[in-house]
Chains A and B, each alone.
Chain A
Amino acid sequence: MTMNDDDFVKQFRDRLAGIPEEPVPPGTLMRWRKALDAAARSSQAEQPARASAFDMRLRFAAAASIVLAVAGVAFLAREGGVSPGPGPVAAARAERGVQLHLIELESQLVRVSALAGADRASALRELADQNRLQTAVADRAGGAREARVLRAFTVTLEDMASEADQNGRFKAALAQLDFELKVTQARLAASSPSNSAVRSQAL
């Protein structure tokens, strides 16, 4: 013999009716409330955590794809192979490459400013070399405007390297370069709506 749902509900009600009504002890009530609050907090926190992990993956993927694109253009430029040409796609790619390079340069400069004398000079020369490479990429992709700004930055970086042991001058030059980096980034972000997301994705 099997019990159907209606019979089961009837039986359950009868048993409940047989249980005497007693107040829930205060300690137990407190425990239930704490457990419910904790469950609520964890369910609220879990959602942003998942979103954050996803966001990080998205940022990494975006940054990686841009780096690959820039490296691809640089490779083509160095190998003298198929020229990307100054078409709109290549120009947009170069512009985004420059934007990413400027963000990287900005963070590298923070690191370099913590170094002393000779190490600082050597790190600045490396940055100048990276900047030259990026200039060649921008030039080849038809980004003459970006290339000019980058060349000016190379001159500044070389000047900074030659005066790396003079803290006052170094700080002044760093402040000027920092300003010019920010202005250039603002111009690039303003000129292309799609680029405005790159900074936040790359950070």
Chain B
Amino acid sequence: MKTNFLQVAALALWLQFGPDAYADVNVTQVAAADSRKEARRSPTEEEALQLAALEGLMNMPADRAMPILKRVLSGNQSTLVKERALFVVSQFSNAEAQQLLVEVAKQPDHPLRREAIRNIGIGGQPGALAVLKDVYASGDEAAKREVLQAWLVADRKDEVYQAALAAKTDAEADRAIQTLAAMGAREELRKLATQRKGSKSLMEAFAVSGDIQSLKRLAETAPDAATKAEAVRRMGIVGSPEAKKALREAYEGATDAKVKAAALEGFLITGDDQAVLEIYKAAKTPEEKRTVLRTLTAMGGDAALGAIDQALGGKK
């Protein structure tokens, strides 16, 4: 144990006083695109040693680790090493660590900005997270994506909801709605539904978060058949017994062919061939029988074989 500590301390000292540490390089001159490429490669042998030293900092108190981390971030270690250093910073909850992340996140051209935003989410300190609202509001598309992901990591549903409400474009709203779906934020999505009734991404979010009630409500209250059909089709994604029941009700209650077709597509997604077979048997017109039979055959399975046999006169 003592030997380990000494090794770690020696590595940490090496990081601090390594030959590159004192070089005066303005890191902000490096393009953000280069930073992304840096993150997309494996570490070299030299970097691997530096990363081992960074790992070792977790065994040190924050007041001893922070000066070393600051030196690494302002030195000319590679961007890859600096990005990893930011993760180590996020694991310290002291104000100095959070301030370090915030300073980087605030600079639009900083090559480490993306990683700093991510690590503010991982750190989860309220003060640092508050800064992300400004970063989101003033940031470009890439920064907005990173902030949404940081809010997801920090489980900040309200911030994502506010971002969806304040979205200036459909694409921006869609990204926030998708994030809310990934967070399982049903309440926030339901609140949004009152304002963005025809939004496909909202329906997708309801489906992903398993909110069949909201999809049913949309299908019942949508002003046009196309929106109703979109909502019904997505019931198939939920796939629960409740969703299968809702699909059956939607099929039977529909007067529009588009909605009926959407319900069959929903069944196709759930793979519930027995339900489709029952619809086939109850079909009232030859045209309806043909349509349902096509869905059944697309599903395959025993129910489809039985129906094909029956249609060809093999069984009654």
Q: Which residues of A does B touch, CB under 8 Å?
A: 139, 144-145, 147-149, 151-152, 155, 168-169, 171-173, 175-176, 179-180, 182-184, 186-187, 190
Contacts and interface: CB of A to CB of B under 8 A. Distances in A.
Contact of B39 (A139, A144, A176, A180): A176
Interface string B180-192: 0000000000000
Contact of A179 (B40, B55, B59, B124): B55
Given A180-B87, A187-B91, A172 B41 contact: yes
B122 A176 contact: no
B153 A151 contact: yes
Given A148-B155, A151-B153, A182 B118 contact: no
Given A148-B153, A172-B40, A172-B41, A190 B58 contact: yes
Contacts of A145: 93, 124
A168 B41 contact: yes
B58 A148 contact: no
Given A144-B124, A175-B42, A176-B84, A151 B155 contact: yes
Instruction: For chain B, give the interface size range.
Output: 20 to 34
Interface of B: 39-43, 51, 54-56, 58-59, 83-84, 87-88, 91, 93, 118, 121-124, 149, 152-155
B55 A155 contact: no
Contacts of A183: 54-55, 58, 87-88, 91
A97 B186 CA distance: 28
Nearest to B61: A190
Contacts of B42: 171-172, 175
B59 A148 contact: no
B58 A155 contact: no
A9 to B, nearest CB: 57
A148 B124 contact: yes
8 residue pairs, one from A and one from B, having the closest CB atoms: A186-B58, A151-B153, A175-B42, A148-B124, A187-B58, A152-B153, A172-B40, A187-B91
B154 to A, nearest CB: 6
Residue picked from B39, B153, B154, most chain A C-beta under 10 Å: B153
Interface of A is mostly: helix
B152 A151 contact: yes
A179 B85 CA distance: 10
Given A145-B124, A179-B84, A180-B87, A186 B59 contact: yes
A152 B96 CA distance: 22
Given A168-B40, A172-B41, A176-B39, A149 B122 contact: yes
A172 B58 contact: no
B153 A172 contact: no
A173 B36 CA distance: 12
